[in-house]
Amino acid sequence: MEKLLIINGNNIHDIPSFYDEINRVFMSEEDWLLDQHLDALSELLRGGIGAITAGKPTIIRWDNIDASREALGKEATAQYYLSKFDNTPHVFGTPWIDQQLQALEAGEGKTYFELILDIIAEHPHIKLLTN
């Protein structure tokens, strides 16, 4: 039997509120919260922590996904990359950050929302439903 988890896109206004919603939906029975980064999201979706059991079929229904697409779009993504200048330039390097920002501005780079969808798609036991 598949487990159903529901993300409410109306609760997502920026990247931090995305992780607030993820923690609300996936981590409600844990005594710790998921960190706010994409690697942590991928680990969560792999299963074994939070509401997803490793390898077990899971349906994620993302209600009001268009609101999330907008909130996690170009502007939020640019802010995400710009924050890396302040927080971790030694990890990513300024050329990499510049490259990501230029691609985003040119309409060729992925938004944070698109990166999330890519991560979800990497996990074959998860089915994403949207409305």
**CB of 11 closer than 8 Å to CB of 17:** yes
> Dihedrals φ, ψ of 31, to 5°?
-100, 20
Q: What region does 107 belong to: left with phi over 0, alpha with psi -120 to 50, or beta?
A: left
H-type helices in the chain, by residue range?
A: 15-26, 38-46, 65-71, 74-87, 89-92, 94-105, 112-121
pLDDT reported for residue 93: 62
Interval 34-58 mean pLDDT: 95
- CA pair distance 9, 22, nearest whole angstrom: 11
Q: What is the pLDDT of residue 87?
A: 63
Whether pLDDT at 89 is above 60: no
Question: What domains does the chain contain, in order, with CATH numbers?
Answer: 1-70+112-131 (3.30.370.10), 74-110 (no CATH)
The model carries a pTM of: 0.91
Segment 10-19, tens digit of pLDDT: 999 999 999 9
DSSP letter (8 states) at residue 58: E
b/e 24-63 (16+ beta carbons within 10 angstroms → b): ebbbeeeeeebeeeeeebeebbebebbbbeeeeebebebe
Q: Tell me what percent of the residues of the chain surpass a pLDDT of 70.
A: 93
Show the tokens assigned to 93.
């390097």
Which residues face 4 on adjacent strands?
59
